């Protein structure tokens, strides 16, 4: 049987590694979402003027969050735009 300290240290290190890589995963998620939004906009979706303005604002805000390193906020913001577009 392994010592408790060793087991706890392995779990702790695994958690740290997972947290470190989750930010990187989100960083790559944002550009993919922006491309999906751009592709949907290129298809001239039937949205009201207010919806179109909201999508464009959310798209711009999402890109700004991404560039600022706020990837979770970027993903959340871009998801709102994709929901309006039905993507």
Confidence of residue 1 (pLDDT cuts 50, 70, 90): low
Q: How far apart are CA 30 and CA 12, in angstroms?
A: 28
33 in a domain, yes or no?
Answer: yes
13 in a domain, yes or no?
Answer: no
Q: Give tens-digit pLDDT for 32-87.
A: 999 999 999 999 999 999 999 999 999 999 999 999 989 889 999 999 999 999 99
pTM of the predicted protein model = 0.70
CATH number at residue 36: 1.20.1270
Copy the structure tokens of residue 59.
């798209």
15 in a domain, yes or no?
Answer: no
Q: Which residues contact 83 (CB under 8 A, 6 or more apart)?
A: none
53 in a domain, yes or no?
Answer: yes
State which residues form the domain around 47.
Answer: 24-85
7 in a domain, yes or no?
Answer: no
35 in a domain, yes or no?
Answer: yes
């Amino acid at each position: 049987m392994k010592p408790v300290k060793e087991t706890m240290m392995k779990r702790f290190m695994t958690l740290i590694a997972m947290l470190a890589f989750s930010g990187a995963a989100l960083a790559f998620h944002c550009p993919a979402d922006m491309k999906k939004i751009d592709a949907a906009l290129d298809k001239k979706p039937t949205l009201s003027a207010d919806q179109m303005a909201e999508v464009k604002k959310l798209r711009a805000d999402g890109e700004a969050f991404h560039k600022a390193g706020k990837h979770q906020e970027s993903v959340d913001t871009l998801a709102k735009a994709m929901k309006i577009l039905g993507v």
